[in-house]
Structure 1
Amino acid sequence: MHKVNFKIILSFLLILASNFIFSQKKFTVVLDAGHGGSDHGANRTYSDIGRVTEKEITLAITLKVGAMLEKNKDFKVIYTRKIDEYPSLSDRTNLANRSKADLFVSIHCNSAVRNTAYGTETYVQGPDQNDTNLEVAKRENDVIFLDEKDKQTFGSYDASSPESLIALKLQQSKYLEASMLLGGLVENNFVNKDKRSSRGVFQKNLHVLRMNAMPSVLIETGFINHPEESHYLASEKGQDEISQSIYDAIIDYKKAIDRKAGVSALTKKPEPEKPAEVALKNDFRILLLSSPTKYNDGDPALKGLNYILPIKENGQYKYYYGVTNMASVRDINIKTAKDAGFRNAYAVGFMPNQKLSTGYYTLEVHTGDKLNGNSLVMQALKDVERNKENGVFYYTYGKVYTLEDAVKLQKEVEAKGIKNSIIQKVFR
């Protein structure tokens, strides 16, 4: 018989065990202590305890929650800040997204005009349900203006834009149920364990939640301008109880998610693999309206939609929304247009790079008064043509034969500072 080398076997088993351990993904929680650095958040000064600031309380509670989670081998904890500094809102959400976190918990203190308001609140990302919590949204969103990076990141978001609203609805529907679960667990713990008053769980459009690709909550741990509650928030006892309640809620949340995942794995039938979508031969744009009136970007008549291409044809301005050669995206664009208020919108097919056989495209670069030689249009562009109809001057530039070339020409003109030009189809 061959002798067995137990050292080799033991080493092999240790390697297998270590691989198994490291293959188990830890449940990643991003803890966000609200405000920080130059942004003090809500604050009040009391004669007996001095100045109480939101940024100090949120950091203390966050570190306590994190310390408890770090003792649990199933969790990985990431902090947006561990000291008195101000990470931008985009830094906070980018950190969570890059880390592929399973949960984002932002901890804050509340404040109100009157010092009689008290109790806890938890917010999840969603459309505003009513105006009663508007001040919370304003106050938490106001810090967006503290950082240039935030202005760039969130500058394109427009709460009144149909595209932004639809994107928001798609995102919130993905994580809303899980976020509401955690929010309910947190508020229940505040009431049942800490004997505090809960004002409820609400949906609110908050910047620090909106950009997260994971279930997220923002916890208002109490009102800092309420004399009794602020003393509780600033006390070691209060911070210990609050952090314990948040920790317990996270633990119970993970258990619930694990149970749901286990049941789904056992009962879920594998879905048949869908064939990959094939691109269509035509590009499709959604015709919103046709009008003799020229509308510039941002005009109320366009109902907040972006990515609009106006094309002038036979004296009418036709306004097209979006462009795609995928049927699924085309159908989404039609729905977006109709949701925005263009009930008669429909898709129009354009053959890519098709040359006009009976005419050409040009750019209408100015409409209105007569331009002098020192104007931007006349200085920046050569060979501009001028026409006058019914007392109105029309200045056009260029001649190309495909829509793609017309769009390219339009971008070149925009680069020279000439905005709101219109592609015009001219028939011979």
Structure 2
Amino acid sequence: MIISRFNILKCFFLISLLFSTFGFAQKKFVLVLDAGHGGSDFGANRGYSDIGRVNEKDITLAITLKLGKLLEKNKDIKVIYTRTTDEYPSLTARTNLANRNKADLFISIHCNANDRSSPYGTETFVQGPDQNKTNLEVAKEENDVIFLNAEDKKTFSSYDPNSPESLIALKIQQSKYLEASLTLGSLVEDNFANKDKRLSRGVKQKNLHVLRLNAMPSILIETGFISNYDEAHYLVSEAGQNEIAQSIYDAIISYKNLKGNISTAETKPEEPKQPAEVPSKNDFRILLMSTPVKYDEGDPAFKGLNYILTIKENGLYKYYYSTTNMASIRDNNLKTAKDAGFRNAYAVGFIPNQTLGTGYYRIELAATKDKLSSNSYILNTLKGVDRNKEKGIFYYTYGKYNSLEQAVENQKDLEKRGIKNTVIEKVLK
């Protein structure tokens, strides 16, 4: 049978019409770019004599628009922005936008800051429960903006990221996307470290509200510290913003190629998946160093690392960095510590809520050569403070706790009362 050229073209036209009408056409890779903060929420900000006021909201928008421009050159990628001007979309609106468009990825761009020291470097966060933080304290630099918007305040008012119910919900909701988020985050941080020659502080897991309700792999990128003089200048520069945007773009393309076009199950059969990572029964902390010297929070000895837990044991102060019950996050935290210069760092497992068989934990309030005066704030605020003298040093301690978690909670309570730079001491008897 002879088929005319006209009939062949007619068949192609009908097939194309069917694909477009019934949704059989190839699904574009949908990517939501979120420029952090905006409008009345300036985010982190610092003033410098040579470059003026540096606002996080301006840097995040500039990088986001540069990244979007690169991505829009790819015909199979659809870019959606949570904002393209100096406005503040609620965190709820940002999440709803991504979910409504069935996005394949959600990427939020931010900058870091620290008032106590001048750390530097990049870090990328994926959503996940942090069982040793309470209420909204984890990532409060980002989460406190929920009170700027009535919609967010209503949505998050009853959310406690550390309640058992919330933790279970978070684990179920995020397990599907955690592995993909970690993959993308690692690609981003690898590019920052290897291509841009910057310090990567690794990929970390935190309870960030802007990621919490996303039904897709999601990451939040801290592109550098505005509070660090050199990084602030890098972040506001055209060259620095272009370099950051290029590294994130390259990571997205690598991720897309690695994962395929991430089509939905309706348009492409799912490939066999690796089992989701199972949380460990232990909490892992990274031991940075053990020394008889006591360092306060933000000391340069920590080389810019935050989330330090200090435990004194047998006269030595042991400094632990971060905590997680996920092996992949543990490995990333260890890499971060070693990249920062702690070459002998290693992971230590802690059994949550373990009660000491013998001994107890207490809180070391102060260690000083001279006695605290009778009108000392510590002595006037707390009752039952013990004082011991060892090798010419007066040690003031408080409380007696059966588990590390109890000691940590009471240490946080002391911080709220203005008693800071305390140390948890493990007493074995």
TM-score norm. by structure 2 comes to 0.58
Q: 1:13 to 1:259 in 2, by over 3 A?
A: closer
What's the offset of the Cα at 1:155? 2.0
Task: Please give the residue correspondences for 1:315-394 in structure 2 after superposition, counting only pairs within 5 Å.
Answer: none
Asked if structure 1 preserves the Cα contact closer than 8 Å seen for 2:29 and 2:262, the reply is no
From 194, 198, 209, give the equivalent of 1:207: 209
Per the alignment, residue 242 of structure 2 pairs with 240
Q: For residues 87-124 of structure 1, what are the alpha-carbon distances to aligned partners after superposition, in whole Å with 9 as ceiling and x for unaligned?
A: 00000000001111111000000001134200000000
* Alignment-derived partner of residue 192 in structure 1: 194
CA separation in 1, counterparts of 2:270 and 2:140? 45
Q: 1:187-206: CA deviations, max 9, x gaps? A: 00001110100111100001
RMSD of equivalent CA atoms = 2.9
Is it true that 1:105 corresponds to 2:107 in the alignment?
Answer: yes
Deviation of 1:51 (Å) = 1.1
Q: 1:260 to 1:57 in 2, by over 3 A?
A: closer
**Which letter maps to 2:70?**
M
1:59 is matched with 61
Structure with higher Rg: it is 1
Q: For 1:202, what is the secondary structure of its paired residue?
A: strand
CA shift in 2, pair 1:267/1:217, >3 Å: closer
Partner of 2:139: 137
Secondary structure of the residue aligned to 2:260 is: helix
Give the deviation of 1:86 after TM superposition: 0.2
Contact 2:129–2:162 (Cα < 8 Å) also in 1: no
Structure-2 change in CA distance of 1:114 and 1:156 (3 Å): closer
Do structure 1's residue 121 and structure 2's residue 123 form an aligned pair? yes
Deviates more, 1:238-247 or 1:21-30: 21-30
Aligned partner of 2:227 in structure 1 is 225
Amino acid of the structure 1 residue aligned with 2:208? L
Post-superposition offset of 1:164: 1.2
SS of structure 1 residue aligned to 2:139: helix
Q: How many angstroms does 1:256 deviate by?
A: 1.4
In the aligned structure 1, how far is the partner of 2:59 from the partner of 2:18? Answer: 40
TM-score between the two structures when normalised by the length of structure 1: 0.58
Distance in 2 (CA, whole Å) between partners of 1:225 and 1:64 is 23
- The count of corresponding residues between Structure 1 and Structure 2 is 267
Give 1:265 shift.
5.7
Maintained 8 Å contact 1:129/1:204: no
Question: What amino acid maps onto 1:72 in structure 2?
Answer: N
* Separation in 2, partners of 1:246, 1:103: 13
Once residues 109 and 169 of structure 2 are traced to their aligned partners in structure 1, the CA distance between those partners, rounded to angstroms, is: 25
Q: Within 2, Cα distance between the matches of 1:40 and 1:99? A: 27
Could you tell me which runs of 5 or more consecutive residues in structure 1 were left unpaired when the two chains were aligned. 270-428
**Aligned with 1:23: secondary structure?**
coil
Q: Label 1:260 to 1:67 Cα distance change in 2 as closer, same or farther (>3 A).
A: closer
| Structure 1 residue aligned with 2:12 | 13
Corresponding position of 2:218: 216
Secondary structure of 1:177's match?
helix
1:79 counterpart residue number: 81
- Where structure 2 has 5 or more consecutive residues not aligned to the other structure, the ranges are 274-429
Map of 1:300 onto structure 2: none
State, as a whole percentage, how many aligned pairs show the same letter: 69
Q: Is the 1:129–1:203 Cα contact (8 Å) retained in structure 2?
A: no
